[in-house]
Every structure is written in structure tokens, then in C-alpha cells.
Amino acid sequence: MAACERAVIALRCNESERLELEVDVMTVAMEIAIGVADTSAAVFGCRAREHDLRLGLEQRLRKLATLAPSISERIRLVDRANAVRPRTWT
């Protein structure tokens, strides 16, 4: 994952493209992290634990939604952010 993170950081792209790449890398990292108790690794500043990666994904998807070119795309991204959001029991 660290190599993927470095590659994304090194790319010259606009904010929306960078966020999309971060979402892709973090989605894979989250799939790997499911069921792993704890790790000291990090992905784009988020600890490589399912809960922390879900928070990071949600944040990035909501940011992408603010940059979306259409209302339908914005709604799709917000729905995706809501789906990935970690569960809270309050």
C-alpha cells in the first residue's frame, strides 16, 4: 500500500482525480484490513484499520461530492460515503 500511496502523491493531477485515486487505494486497503486486529501501517494519514479507513474514505467521498460536476454525481458520491461510514451506536 505504501508504494501505491507514494505513486498517487507523485502524480500530477487535479484535486478530483487525486481524491478518486486515494479512494481506490483506501478501498483496497480497507478490504485487506477487515478482520485485522491492529496495525501500525497508515494509508493517506489513516491508520490501516477498518474503522479508520472507513472514516478516511467517507471524508474523501464527501469532498469529491463537493467537486462533482452534476447533482446526480454528487448524490451518488454522498450515498457511497454514507454506505462506507463506520457504524456508530449512540
* Residue 34 belongs to some domain of the structure: yes
DSSP string, 18-87: HHHHHHHHHHHHHHHHTT----S-EETTEESSHHHHHHHHHHHHHHHHHH-SSHHHHHHHHHHHHHHSPP
* Residue 38 belongs to some domain of the structure: yes
What's the domain count of the chain? Answer: 1
* Residue 90 belongs to some domain of the structure: no
* Residue 28 belongs to some domain of the structure: yes
* Residue 89 belongs to some domain of the structure: no
* Residue 14 belongs to some domain of the structure: yes
Q: Which of 9-23, 25-39, 46-60, 72-86 has the lowest mean pLDDT?
A: 25-39
pLDDT at 37: 63
At 9, is the pLDDT very low, low, confident or very high (cuts 50, 70, 90)? confident
Global pTM reads 0.84
* Torsion angle of the four alpha carbons 47, 22, 10, 4, in this order, in degrees rounded to the nearest 10: 60
User: pLDDT tens, 33-67?
Assistant: 877 766 678 889 998 888 899 999 999 999 999 99
Find the domain containing 65 and state its range.
2-84
The arithmetic mean of pLDDT across residues 9-34, rounded, is 90
Q: Which CATH number covers residue 54? A: 1.25.40.10
